[in-house]
Structure 1
């Protein structure tokens, strides 16, 4: 563009958002996740519930989490009090490299959500779902080179 001029870029409708909460099994690389319309304690509790039902036989479940407010909320604390098999280990503040699942989120953004060309949220969510279903075991499953079916 000539200096001092800007090209007008049309942006699509509303800035719709959808959120994921996930857990990465440290030994097997298995990925479990839930999704929702808001990033709140309910989403985190849904993830905890999924872990509880998936690992029913486990005597304890230890999660390494960041210091995001939904991990410490009153609602979450009440749920954890009723489910004593869960133990949360908080990573140091501003240290995302400590938690291995952060690499999963980075891979998801790099391969699917960043600079996508989906026209609808449902198309994008389909690609995210495909990524999440084929990423296990993580890392090492070739998630970055796997082709996603285009709808």
Structure 2
């Protein structure tokens, strides 16, 4: 709480003169106005609201005025544009942030207060961090066991297959997804000042889908199954063969789930008349499986910010999107669900531990 009446009459008149001076820089006039209002009994919150500033900034202006008077209000050194830290202190701060990767400005402000007894407002800290060339970013999630050589070999073999593919051959990606009957909150644009809420369902039922996607045409085969296992894979392979009657060979790419390698599946593939060739994506490489991106697009269009009153409604929305919307509107999705593969190396990242 800042007690009113802390200014002498001369000090108040000087500040009022600055605030009313049309030739004075606007930033200085605004700060002088804030100090006068604090002296007259306004709270930091009220002054901040009137000047369209946050209350922490108003408190910081008051501290600057206490320390350096009107000259301090004209210096702009407390918000990070002209840094109060020495070159050595800036280097220490940079080294500390680089080493610790703090998640919020509160922790950085606490470190500055403890280390150098300096107090920054939230906006001042953000300005300081930008000045020191720091950005706020979320880390990418990468698999723990990445084998660069295997990724490169897979991409080369995949491209080689595409280059020699005949008209009577097709390439299909296969995977399973298990969406749960729950709404997924996601960021959205909304009118300013409007509180946004999403009704949550109480259901925990899960939909099991074993599906296939052709990146060239957008054609899908999506089976709702009780359990994803070797039997559901065989049922899906039968559906794929039926959908590609004119193809001599169907090249199917899939991950290394145990049921994809099951003896039951291998025995089925050995039967006479089978036209399917399985290709396995390297372990721990979901980025080399385009159908994984299809699941992400599905969630964006069916579960993000959407609430379904019943599991039946939820299931209909998901299956309709996968079986009808994706093939019918493939031109809208093909740029996001692609085989634009790349090798991911942990060496390209600073991996947080």
Specify if TM > 0.5: yes
Residues 1-21 of structure 1 deviation map (CA, whole Å, 9 limit, x = unaligned): xxxxxxxxx9725x2222111
Residues 25-71 of structure 1 deviation map (CA, whole Å, 9 limit, x = unaligned): 13222222111121112221111011111112211110010111121
Q: How does 1:18-37 map onto structure 2 within 5 Å?
A: 18-37=207-226
CA contact (8 A) 2:201 2:309 kept: no
Indicate the RMSD between aligned Cα atoms, in angstroms. Answer: 2.3
Structure 2: runs of 5 or more not aligned: 1-199, 335-353
**TM-score between both structures, scaled by the size of structure 1:** 0.77
CA contact (8 A) 1:21 1:34 kept: yes
Query: When you count strand as a share of all residues, which structure comes out higher?
Result: 1
**Match of 1:7?**
none
Q: Residue 138 and residue 92 in structure 1: after superposition, are their counterparts in 2 closer, same or farther (change >3 A)? A: farther
Structure 1: runs of 5 or more not aligned: 1-9, 144-151
* Helix, strand or coil at the partner of 2:212: strand
Query: How many correspondences in the alignment?
Result: 133
> Which moved further from structure 2: 130-139 or 92-101?
130-139
**Match of 2:250?**
61
Q: Residue 46 and residue 114 in structure 1: after superposition, are their counterparts in 2 closer, same or farther (change >3 A)? A: farther
In structure 1, C-alpha distance between the alignment counterparts of 2:330 and 2:266, rounded to whole Å: 31
**Aligned: 1:134 with 2:321:** no
Query: When you count helix as a share of all residues, which structure comes out higher?
Result: 2
Note the C-alpha offset of 1:88.
Answer: 0.7
* Helix, strand or coil at the partner of 2:251: strand
* Helix, strand or coil at the partner of 2:313: helix
Which of 1 and 2 has higher RCO (CA within 8 Å, sep 6+)? Answer: 1
In structure 1, C-alpha distance between the alignment counterparts of 2:305 and 2:327, rounded to whole Å: 24
Larger Rg: 2
> Which moved further from structure 2: 77-86 or 47-56?
77-86
Q: 2:290 aligns with which of 81, 100, 117?
A: 100
Q: 2:264 aligns with which of 75, 80, 97?
A: 75
Q: Residue 11 and residue 121 in structure 1: after superposition, are their counterparts in 2 closer, same or farther (change >3 A)? A: closer
